[in-house]
Amino acid sequence: GDSVTQMEGPVTLSEEAFLTINCTYTATGYPSLFWYVQYPGEGLQLLLKATKADDKGSNKGFEATYRKETTSFHLEKGSVQVSDSAVYFCALSHTGGGNKLTFGTGTQLKVEL
Amino acid sequence: DTEVTQTPKHLVMGMTNKKSLKCEQHMGHRAMYWYKQKAKKPPELMFVYSYEKLSINESVPSRFSPECPNSSLLNLHLHALQPEDSALYLCASSQDGTRNEQYFGPGTRLTVT
């Protein structure tokens, strides 16, 4: 079955540091890939998406590229802020699967001054 | 506008109570979802409605009863819950039941006493 593997957290960074959160997936065919962010006490917000190989999703300074050859979708940001502190979920969905999202376990990011 | 609203924000109920959670979207989406999220875990899919018909039930206990009165509304009726059902309940919607991105509401924090 489909699965998503994310790096363990928490990840603690200083403000303005470079961020990478690794995400790899196992799935047949060509799933769509997503990053969601969850701030404390809130629901999930769609951060970015990619629907085919080599697509780059980007939003609010975050980027991720759909790499079919390495089955990866790593999240990056050049300069993090304290306000980026949250839990980040990598996820995939398949056509014909009722649009079920398969989530990774989530990575907590803490950004300090 | 990509807003999904949920009411109530918080709910405390006894094991013999009957209560309902409500979810609404006005994006013209035709697929709606209920998820359950425990602390420090990713969301777990419970139900999917596609074009107002229940398309997926992830073997959820019958004490949870979903209802989709129309394409904009989704309810989750709760009866005879157990303390282990305490969690954050998230509603989401997507354009249709294919591999589109899902938009989440802020959730209802449920405590069963």
CA distance A54 to chain B (A): 18
DSSP string for residues in A42-97: S-EEEEEEE-STT-EEEETTEEEE-BTTTTB--EEESS--GGG-EEEEEEEE-TTT
Strand, helix or coil for residue A15: coil
Residues counted in chain B: 113
CB contact under 8 A, A36 and B104: yes
By C-alpha distance, the chain B residue nearest A41 is: B106
Residue-wise pLDDT tens digits, B54-113: 999 999 999 999 999 999 999 999 999 999 999 999 999 998 867 689 999 999 999 999
Please report, in tens digits, the pLDDT of each residue of chain A (113 residues total). Answer: 889 999 888 999 999 999 999 999 999 888 999 999 999 989 999 999 999 999 999 999 999 999 999 999 999 999 999 999 999 999 999 766 667 899 999 999 999 99
Tell which residue, A70, A71, A67, A56, has the closest CA to residue A25.
A71
Query: Nearest by CB to B98, which of A34, A46, A95?
Result: A95
